[in-house]
Structure formats: C-alpha cells, structure tokens
Homo-oligomer: A and B are copies of this chain.
Amino acid sequence: MTAAAHRPATLEDVARAAGVSRSTASRVIAGTGFASPAARERVAAAADQLGYVPNPAARALVRGGGVRLVVAVAGPSAAVLDDPYVHRVVGSAARVCAPAAIGVALHWLPLSQPNSLDQLAGDGSVCGVVLVNTTEDLLDAVPRSLRGRVASIGIGSATIPSFDVDNGAGAEEVLRHLYAGGRRRIAMVTGPRWLPCSQRPVQEYRRLMRQAGLPERVLPGDFTAARGRTAAGEALRRWPDLDAVYAISDETAFGVIAALREGGVRVPGDVAVAGFDDIPLAGMTTPALTTASHPVGRIAAAAATAVLDRRPTAPVTLFPSALVARASA
C-alpha cells in the first residue's frame, strides 16, 4: 500500500519485516501449507505494507509453469497477424491470462513449415499454445511435449481440443433463411481453401442446394472485402439470374454489397446478401447486414482457459451460430 520502492519488494523483504523465514512467508503468500494464525497475520501485514507483489517469473521458473501463452496463427504470410479477428483473440486471451500474470504472445506459423511449433515446444517459458487457423498439417506437427497445453480455435484432433463455432449449423440456418425469403439462385463466397474449418459451410451449402435441386455456385474467397467486390462481379457475369450471395465473412459481404450497388443491382431487392460473424458494424450500415453472430471473444477465452487450467477438456466444444436477420437478406 506504500508508494512503491525503487526496487520491487521481494519475499525476503517481507519475511524479514514479518520476522519469519522466507519459507513461512512463501506458504502464507501462496496460500499453501501450514502457518500459524499469528504468522499469517504478520506476513500479510508486512506484504501489503511493502506493496509486495510475487514475481511470477521466479515462481514459474521453480514450478516449471511458464509465463507466456502463445497465440499461434497459421497463414500464408505474416500479414495474418494484422487481422482484426486475430486481434480479438489476442485481446480476449490477454484478459483471461491477466489474473494469472501470464502474458500473451503472437506468432505466425508459415503454412509451408508447420514444424515451426517445435521452437515453442522447446521454450520453457511458454505455458501453452492456442492455435488459430488450424490445418491438418499443423495438427500433425504439434510436438508431443505440447500435449495437454494446446487448444485449437478451429479443427482439433484426438489429443488437441477444438473450440469452434458450429459452422455447419450456422450455414444451414442462413441458407434456410435465404430460401424462406424466396431466393433460389444462391451463390456462395467461401473462405480460403487451405483453412479446413471454412470447408464445413461449403459442404453444407452443397448438400442443401443439391437437396433442394438448386444450382451450386461456389466462388473461392479469402475473407477480405476486396475479394467480395471482385467476387460479386464474377458472380453477376457468370450467373445473371443470381438472386442471393452468401459470404463466409462480413467484410466480404460488405464488399459484395458495394460492388453490386455500384453495378446498379439493388440489395436486397434484386440480390440478397448475407455474411458471417456479425462484426460490430454489421447492424449500422444501410442496408443492415443479415449475418450469423459468433461469440469470438468467448471462444478465445474458452480456449485460453483450457490451456491455462490444463484440465481435461472435451475434444470438441461447439459454440452456437445465431442468425441475425436484418435488412440485406
């Protein structure tokens, strides 16, 4: 409670001030082991008199616990680290880690060399890893020594718990909504091909279209607004009778809408457009974007928590995708 000394107080300082040994002070502070009420009292008093804060690095060193949780993002280039989605994950993870005095680090995992995880595994200061944009290769390349302290936001495996949105169900819900609105010529702009978890919605789309006897119109995407613009042009050119576009990214959906309107196509009058994620601005635009909302923050928090707590986790934790019907579709 006192103004911080120039040098942070150590446990030794506290022990001396309380007139006990370092071990006793440690037991009291860490709340582990025995200590007489009297000792407890004096140590506590000394600690807050000195403004004592345990040094997590030292603690981690002796317990072998690590001090950093690494958010490892796979992608074609380091630019993936600039993605707002990634920032959201890092932000949520950082919040979850703060009470444990664990810091968060951000790493890029080049798609071409999945064994870059080895370095993280060999770093004793890394307490765990949260995988983002997980691929099969990546899953295979997770070193054994990382087992039990890795979680994946995306696909998982027998040994690596997965935390993800129920993509299939989400896609189905949006597509049924489009269908219920009378749309029959529905194109889809997908996520990147290398990203396994973005294949689910595509499968669902194909299944539903086939089932309804509707044409399958798939355009590869990359989650960007720019791709939305070009994809809209392509779609219009290839399929002039188009009456809906389903994009697996709100950013892309906005790109689609912009291009469509610039081309004189009314949204949703002529073509309905739906997105994916419900970013904060989705409800503020004109037309407001119909999309599916996903608890990205909660997913990231759950993954980070699983890694931190190191307790047995269900192999797959699915979070619900909720249709948010607005004006665009």
Q: List A residues at the B interface (Cβ < 8 Å).
A: 3-10, 51-58, 60-61, 66-69, 71, 81-82, 84, 86-88, 90-91, 94-95, 97-98, 101-107, 118-119, 121-125, 143-146, 225, 228, 251, 254-255, 257-258, 261, 279-281, 283-286, 288, 297
Contacts and interface: CB of A to CB of B under 8 A. Distances in A.
B94 A125 contact: no
A95 B6 CA distance: 30
28 contacts: A4-B143, A51-B122, A52-B122, A55-B61, A55-B124, A56-B67, A57-B67, A57-B124, A71-B94, A81-B91, A82-B297, A84-B84, A86-B91, A87-B87, A87-B88, A87-B90, A90-B104, A97-B103, A103-B103, A103-B105, A104-B104, A225-B280, A225-B281, A225-B284, A251-B284, A254-B284, A257-B284, A258-B286
Tally of this chain's copies: 2
Contacts of A124: 8, 10, 53, 55, 57-58
A123 B84 contact: no
Contact of A122 (B9, B82, B107, B257): B9
Contacts of A58: 61, 124-125
A144 B4 contact: yes
A14 to B, nearest CB: 11
A124 B281 CA distance: 40
Given A67-B68, A121-B8, A254-B284, A94 B104 contact: yes
A6, A10, A95, A283 — which one has the most chain B CB atoms within 10 A of its CB? A95
A105 B104 contact: yes
Which A-B residue pairs are the 9 nearest by beta carbons? Answer: A103-B103, A87-B91, A94-B106, A68-B103, A254-B284, A4-B121, A55-B124, A53-B122, A57-B125
Contacts of A261: 286
A251 B281 contact: yes
B61 A57 contact: yes
A280 B279 CA distance: 12
Nearest to A1: B118
A125 B55 CA distance: 6
Contacts of A67: 56-57, 67-68, 103, 125
A56 B103 CA distance: 12
Contacts of A87: 84, 87-88, 90-91
Contact of A280 (B60, B61, B251): B251
Contacts of A51: 118-119, 121-122
A68 B102 CA distance: 8
Contacts of A95: 81, 106
Given A91-B90, A254-B281, A280-B251, A4 B118 contact: yes
